[in-house]
Amino acid sequence: MKKLSAFNNAKWVGLSQITKIFVQVVALVGFSRILQPGEYGIMAMAAVISNFAIIFRDLGTGSAIIQKKKIDDGFLSSLFWMNMIVGGGIMIIIMIISPLVAVFFHESQLTYVLILLSISFPLASLGIIHQSYLERNNKFSQVCFVEMISAIFALGIGIATALLGGGVYSLVIMTVIQTLISSVGFWFVSNWTPSFSFDKKDINDVLNFSGNLTLFNLVNYFSRNSDNMIIGHYFSTSILGAYSLAYRIMLFPLQSLTSVASRSLYPVISRMKNNNEGNVTDLYLRTLSFISIFTLPLMAGLWLLSDSFVSVVFGEKWILVSSILFWLAPTGFIQSLVSTTGTIYMAYGKVGLLFKLGVFSSFLQIFAFIVGAQYNVIVLAKLYFISNLINFFVAMYFTLKLLSGNLMQLLIKLLPTMFCTIVMLFVVAVIKCVLKHYNYNDITLLISGVCSGSIIYLLLFIVFFRKMLINDLPSALSNKITRMR
């Protein structure tokens, strides 16, 4: 009997994420030292268009393959050819509209950046079905191997291009190369080749499933990218570049722990729900608790040490990033929890509710961006945090209600982490004040803050919450889940 385990999936996805985090850290620091804020800003402008196109790149076919009970070769082939048609169409459309986008952002170089970036869409379409097929069959080790190799090779080529004076194009080339290597790799390890089959019924079945999901992704796009759109239009490329860098730092918890949890839990929860086995509520709450153990102290520490962190890691030309991070760091923790809710709605087939909540979230965030743009980028970041805080309570209320849980249960699960983090912040704040009083430099402040904070946090957890850290959380993922075919 072939066993399905969220813990086993998370192990492989986690390994891939560790590699990705390493690549992202090297890329973030390396490119920020080589490139100027304005060049980061141009890439952020291009991302407004490319992220919109990503919504329609697979039309939910990847999720449908994992969620559907039975699939066959004809079904997979139909979806593959649909993805190729859509990917090619997106490339052509981006090439056509790129001059208009450049006019909107008042940046002529954006035309050529978008044309080159558009090539990544048909390349990505080549591997979407193969990757989803592997994940459906729990071949996470193979998926992660491909992801790690592609990330490392693309980073090397991107950094080399930047050192040779490639500017913003080094970021674009890295994206295209990573997409190409990933798609080729998924073909190689999946041992599946599409046939020349195209069944409209298969397409309609998927579109019926993914229609609301695509609508949610469309709505979520505006909440995720309207900030870049508004900042890029009203402010300079340098300000957008600083905001973009701060935002990428904020996304680390989402791109590491949250994505590990979501990718690992989705196939497990789907089958637990279909077979009425296991306690999904308990699994979900423990997963949120596990995520918070890492993301809360990380984002809290970044919030307190943002000025020293930016000065030491990125340099004085990025000093605006620290002021933006003051508000984006706590936002990152909130999103590390909220971003898991989509997994529950998709597994339970409640994509309609997911769409409605996405509309509410987008309305809050876009309103915050529009109001903030009338002042400055710091006010915009502050209002963005407030909108995320409101959305947290609304999204979690409906998610836990679906699982027959409540917000009080979540609060109880998060209390140990909150207690340890508050004590950690107090100790680090005292050390920071003392060192500043004696005029120590930023390197000393950062090293002292990180080391003392890490030690205090770990000691508190070991002393007061050892059972939860050692026994409860691992068992929630490995022992208490009923394993099935």
pLDDT of residue 481: 39
pLDDT of residue 425: 95
Instruction: Count other Cβ atoms within 10 Å, centred on residue 411.
Output: 11
Which residues lie closer than 8 Å to 467 by C-beta, 6 or more apart? none
Each residue of 265-298: pLDDT tens digit?
656 666 666 555 557 787 888 888 888 888 999 9
Ranking 248-262, 296-310, 330-344, 375-389 by mean pLDDT, the lowest is: 248-262
The whole-angstrom separation of Cα 413 and Cα 419 is 11
pLDDT of residue 300: 95
Q: What is the value of pTM for the model shown? A: 0.76
Each residue of 347-363: pLDDT tens digit?
777 777 888 888 898 88
* Integer CA distances (angstroms), 452 to 37, 108, 135, 216, 446, in order: 32, 48, 40, 42, 10
Residue spans of the domains in the chain: they are: 1-198, 226-485
Instruction: Give yes or no for residue 263 having a pLDDT over 90.
Output: no
pLDDT of residue 1: 37
Average pLDDT, the chain: 82
> How large a percentage of the chain has pLDDT more than 90?
35
The whole-angstrom separation of Cα 26 and Cα 160 is 13
Instruction: Give yes or no for residue 175 having a pLDDT over 60.
Output: yes
pLDDT of residue 112: 93
Each residue of 230-245: pLDDT tens digit?
998 888 889 999 998 9
CB 273 within 8 A of CB 484: no
